[in-house]
Amino acid sequence: MLKVLKSGLFTTVQDTGRYGYLNKGVPVAGYMDSVSAQKVNMLLENDDHAAVIEITMTGPTLEFGESSYICMGGAVISATLNNEPVQAFQVLKVEKGDILSYGKLKNGFRSYLAIKGGFMAPVVLGSRSFFSSITAKDHVTDRDEIPYKSQKEFTPKITEIKVDSFLDEKVLEVSKGPEYEMLGDKQLEALFYKEFHISNENNRMAYQLEEQLIGHEVSMLTSATLPGTVQFTPSGKLIILMKDGQTTGGYPRILQLSDKAISMLAQKKYHDVVSFKLV
Amino acid sequence: MSTYDISIRPFGVHSILVEWPNRVEEAILEDILQFIQHLENHCFEDELWEMVPAYNSLTLIYREKPIDFDSFKGKLLEWYAADKKQVYREKILWRLPVCYDPEFGIDLEEVSERSGLSMEEIIKLHTEHRYTVYGIGFLPGFMYLGGIPKALEIPRKSKPRPKVLKGAVGLAGKQTGIYPQDSPGGWNIIGNCSVPMFEPKKSAPCFVSVGDKVQFYPIEKAEYDLHKIEGEVGIYKVEKIILDA
């Protein structure tokens, strides 16, 4: 068991996500920054489906109940294991009673903690990813216990990697969304030549942007949306749906973020800057 | 089938959007559902595609690898043209109990004022029509129901409520529906359905599918309470009627 001594701001368990229920309105969920989450799993030689802990901005304090191996990475947050500083993207051994404690966020927004074999939060509809109304909890709270298997011996093939960080990149690669053609010259110019600030309305469901385009009066029938879909409201607001985003919507879908762009955006927080580049 | 001009557009690298004419029409929805069956039975073999139908569109999602749009579009058009035969598709009507007691129907009075109908007339109109499930989304198990009588078309509330109860039955514009969970919401709430629309612990968490029909029937508060208890112990059975094709 992993004991949660302090839960942090918004800490969840996430795997690749919940597949096969989009036609019942169930969002995919899953880790927001799949690039970082897959790297920490890879170092532990876990498969991509192994569940990791997703930490948002302010990290938790955690106590390990059994020995195992861990790896963390993603947003840069200082962390200590039994008061000794630890590095990201490095395989670390933990023993029963060890305490992992997160400190200050330095860069990015979401960090991942993986454990050998993955965290064993209950599987609901094929996934361990937390999601309100599907799993019992939508985030961990103090004194929660998250199961994992004890691992006495493990010799990783690679013990650490240097990561090309994309935390400082701000250009999001996008393709045209289904309703892209509705955009006029002025809207296109603003979309691709301006920078956008992340609004305070940003979470696992969606990121709203502060700057708006000229609005529109296009109405469409409700249709499917995906993580990474950029919705364009009549008043001109841009809403980028993320992993917990609703599966259908009635706003024009003007752009679609690449998988990597979704990971990049997942590391942005209030007032960070992004721009769009069509590929 | 395959009687419509369909358009096919890319939607990111893992997804493709097929669109039918931009109308809310049962014949269009039926054509989409027939095409889904054709794709499942004859085209996708072992590949795991997710298919999301809604109103006049079908979104196909494949996560394993990127889709080669041009070649896949060609295949889809061929498959659609080849889908000539109408296959039997079971048509299901779900009869769902709704308690219109003022305890739940918190906007009934306002709806009555705005529509000029008495509360009894509202309930009668709301329960005598069969609605079509044109989509499921917004929340897990939330149905977009079409076919609402004109007289019940009431604009959504100008100020959404921060919390609408699970099971709340609402009216908004051309739509009626059930909130499957507690949620913020701007619909006019006229009652509460005692049947849970989404149960994550079940392997089939949502009994309704796009294309099904739904009809409401009124129940008293006592019956509502009984359904809730039956639901908790797992003996409540929702009323399912197979309609003739």
Q: Note the pLDDT of residue B3.
A: 81
Res A216 pLDDT > 90 = yes
Taking only the tens place, the pLDDT of each residue in B9-49 is: 999 999 999 999 999 999 999 999 999 999 998 888 878 89
Which of A86-100, A224-238, B34-48, B207-221 is predicted least confidently? B34-48
- Comparing C-alpha atoms, which of A264, A252, A133 is closest to residue A187? A252
Distance CA A22, CA B61 (A): 10
User: CA-CA-CA-CA torsion for A99, A105, A111, A117, nearest 10 degrees?
Assistant: -10
Res B7 pLDDT > 60 = yes
For Cα atoms B208, A225, A56, give the angle at the middle one, nearest 5 degrees: 105
Taking only the tens place, the pLDDT of each residue in A114-161 is: 999 999 999 999 999 999 999 999 999 999 999 999 999 999 998 888
pTM equals 0.95
Q: Is B54 within 8 Å of chain A by CB? A: yes
Q: Which helix (H) or strand (E) holds A108?
A: strand A99-115
| CATH code of the domain made up of A171-278 | 2.40.100.10
Q: Is A248 within 8 Å of chain B by CB? A: yes
Q: How far is CA A109 from the centre of its chain?
A: 9
Q: Note the pLDDT of residue A172.
A: 98
Q: Note the pLDDT of residue A197.
A: 98
Q: Note the pLDDT of residue A3.
A: 98
- Comparing C-alpha atoms, which of B212, B200, B237 is closest to residue B143? B212
Q: Is A182 within 8 Å of chain B by CB? A: no
Write down the domain spans for chain A.
2-146, 171-278
- Mean predicted confidence (pLDDT) in A200-209: 97
- Mean predicted confidence (pLDDT) in A191-198: 97
User: Is the ipTM here above 0.90?
Assistant: yes
Bridge pairing between strands B91-99 and B213-219: parallel
Helices within chain A (DSSP H only): 34-43, 185-193, 259-266
Tally A–B CB contacts below 8 A. Answer: 117
Exposed/middle/buried for residue A106 (C-beta within 10 Å: 0-12, 13-18, 19+): exposed
| CATH code of the domain made up of B7-82 | 3.30.1360.40
Task: Centre a 10 Å sphere on the Cβ of residue A218 and count the other Cβ atoms it contains.
Answer: 12
Distance CA A5, CA A136 (A): 19
Taking only the tens place, the pLDDT of each residue in B148-187 is: 999 999 998 888 899 999 999 999 988 899 999 999 988 9
How sure is the predictor about A165, in pLDDT bands with cuts at 50, 70 and 90? confident
Looking at CA atoms only, how far is residue A43 from chain B in angstroms? 22
A24·B206 Cβ contact <8 A = yes
Bridge pairing between strands A68-81 and A99-115: antiparallel
- Mean predicted confidence (pLDDT) in A43-54: 96
- Mean predicted confidence (pLDDT) in B126-153: 95
On chain A, the residues whose CB falls within 8 A of the CB of B53 are: 23
B54·A226 Cβ contact <8 A = no
What's the mean pLDDT when you consider all of chain A? Answer: 96
- Mean predicted confidence (pLDDT) in B210-220: 97
Q: For the domain with range B91-243, which CATH number is right: 3.40.50.1980, 1.10.3720.10, 2.40.50.140, 2.40.100.10?
A: 2.40.100.10
Domains B7-82 and B91-243 share a fold: no
B13·A125 Cβ contact <8 A = no
For Cα atoms B2, B6, B10, give the angle at the middle one, nearest 5 degrees: 135
Q: Note the pLDDT of residue B90.
A: 86
- Mean predicted confidence (pLDDT) in A209-226: 95
Residue pair B176/B206 in contact (Cβ under 8 Å)? The answer is: no
Taking only the tens place, the pLDDT of each residue in B82-124 is: 877 778 888 999 999 999 999 999 999 999 999 999 999 999 9
Q: Note the pLDDT of residue A139.
A: 97
Q: Note the pLDDT of residue B245.
A: 57
Write down the domain spans for chain B.
7-82, 91-243
A21·B205 Cβ contact <8 A = yes
Q: Note the pLDDT of residue A164.
A: 76
